Amino acid sequence: MLRNDFYTAEAQGPYETASIGRLELEDGGVIEDCWLAYATAGELNADKSNAILIPTWYSGTHGTWFQHYIGEGHALDPSKYFIISVNQIGNGMSVSPANTEDASIAMSKFPDVRIGDDVVAQERLLREKFGIERLFAVVGGSMGAQQTYEWIVRFPDKVQRAAPIAGTAKNTPHDFIFTETLNETVRADPGFNGGEYSSHTEVADGLRRQSHLWATMGFSTEWWKQEAWKGLGLGSAESALADFLDPLFMSMDPNTLLNNAWKWQRGDVSRHTDGDLAAALGRVTAITYVMPISEDMFFPVRDCATEQSLIPGSELRVIDDIAGHLSLFNLSPTYMEQVDAALGDLFGRETS
């Protein structure tokens, strides 16, 4: 186990952990003690009909959701809903390469995990720990959107409403290659040492390079042109890297990023239907609002709209934001009101 202050309650906010026991993975690996880190807000009602699940995105934890999305005045209102954000496997909070006590899966030996493994683990946690058989909603951004899609295809009867934000049901080939460039930043660092570094700080150069890739694809050309970093209290484009993105990514664990990236690259709900995406999305019975971000450079509205058109009764709700994919961090003053409006509409929809 490595010490990393980023993956702590101090940095990410309070959380609990629970084990779902042995998890056999889609790609053949096993996690003998699969424990998940999760955080909750609000109270589960008597008939357990008000639970909203929030899976997490690449490089992220439950923290951003609790900091920005959840609270009174937001659609994700703990006075109405029992909200539970479950950290994805391998993200540094749930069982992960650098925090496991199981030497057989530590560091470079951590097994490949798929989006489907996370959803299976989450379903088990919700059912066994909380007795939740059906979710009021699943809401997720980016890799969280991948998990949201997996939920509504794999367990169509268990989800009433779904909001995949800035992500796809089937990862695109462009996105696969982009993610590979993220991986290469870390692997190219001699300090990475094949995944057997003794501190993430030994991979600082690689992590900084990864930050810079996020700076180009994660934002939009327009965000940089309008100097929107001023809205974050930053003084220059250089500062947007050196004082914001660089320290963020340089805090992270390289094996965690690689493990999650592998998962991200292979997200594809059509694995359930022999590669037929229309058949997979045709299964969906949840009321689904597909919510791409207008200036997202790697999950373009076009790609998300194509998938949305395959989901019965779904709606396309585009979030207009020049911050691009990283809008998810609630960087623009007009972002959250759009998210809240769409989620508010969705949560108000009656289900059959």
Catalytic residues: 142, 296, 325
Whole-number minimum distance, CB 216 to a second copy, in Å?
4
Whole-number minimum distance, CB 269 to a second copy, in Å?
17
Total chain residues near a second copy (CB under 8 A): 37
In the chain, where do the E strands start and end?
A: 16-19, 23-24, 30-31, 35-41, 51-55, 82-86, 137-141, 161-165, 287-290, 315-316
For residue 289, state whether it binds a second copy (rule: CB under 8 A).
no
For residue 321, state whether it binds a second copy (rule: CB under 8 A).
no
Distance (Å, whole) CA 152 – CA 159: 6
Closest C-alpha to 170, from 18, 76, 303: 303
Give the Cα-Cα-Cα angle 85, 91, 97 (nearest 5 degrees).
145
What is the DSSP secondary-structure string of 52-71?
Answer: EEEE--TT--SHHIIIIIBS
8 versus 236: smaller Cβ distance to a second copy: 236
For residue 181, state whether it binds a second copy (rule: CB under 8 A).
yes
For residue 178, state whether it binds a second copy (rule: CB under 8 A).
yes
For residue 184, state whether it binds a second copy (rule: CB under 8 A).
yes
Distance (Å, whole) CA 194 – CA 206: 13
For residue 9, state whether it binds a second copy (rule: CB under 8 A).
no
**Contact 74/32 with Cβ under 8 angstroms?**
no
Whole-number minimum distance, CB 202 to a second copy, in Å?
14
Distance (Å, whole) CA 206 – CA 210: 6
Six-digit token string for 168: 């796809």
For residue 201, state whether it binds a second copy (rule: CB under 8 A).
no
Name residues contacting a second copy, limited to 202-241 (CB under 8 A).
205-206, 209, 212-213, 215-217, 219-225, 227, 237, 241
Binding site for a second copy (CB under 8 A): 172-178, 180-181, 184-185, 188-190, 205-206, 209, 212-213, 215-217, 219-225, 227, 237, 241, 297-298, 300, 302-303
